[in-house]
Amino acid sequence: MDNDEIGRLLKEIRDTQREHLAEYRRVTERSLELQERTVARQAQMAYVYRRVLIVGGGLVAALLVLLVYLLARWSPHLFRT
């Protein structure tokens, strides 16, 4: 092997390593972007879940109050002995 061939091989190795590094950076950036989008979507869904839970809890509480009211109002008629 002469010096020109060794130099050419070393340049090919260097260029290949640069290409791999560029591809690694591209994949890493894409992965980071997807993770950030996932975290944002999870935060959005947590907000929606909390809202649904609050509204659902309010409806259940209102129905329980209505049930207690109706039972108190109509219990003499419903539970005659």
Q: Which two tokens stand for residue 53?
A: 């839970």
Phi, then psi, of 80 in degrees rounded to 5:
-70, 140
pLDDT value of position 81: 63
Q: pTM to 2 decimals? A: 0.61
> What gap in Å lies between CA 76 and CA 78, rounded to an integer?
6
pLDDT value of position 11: 97
pLDDT value of position 78: 81
> What gap in Å lies between CA 78 and CA 71, rounded to an integer?
8
Q: pLDDT 10s digit of each residue in the chain, 81 long?
A: 788 899 999 999 999 999 999 999 999 999 999 999 999 999 999 999 999 999 999 999 999 999 999 999 988 888 876
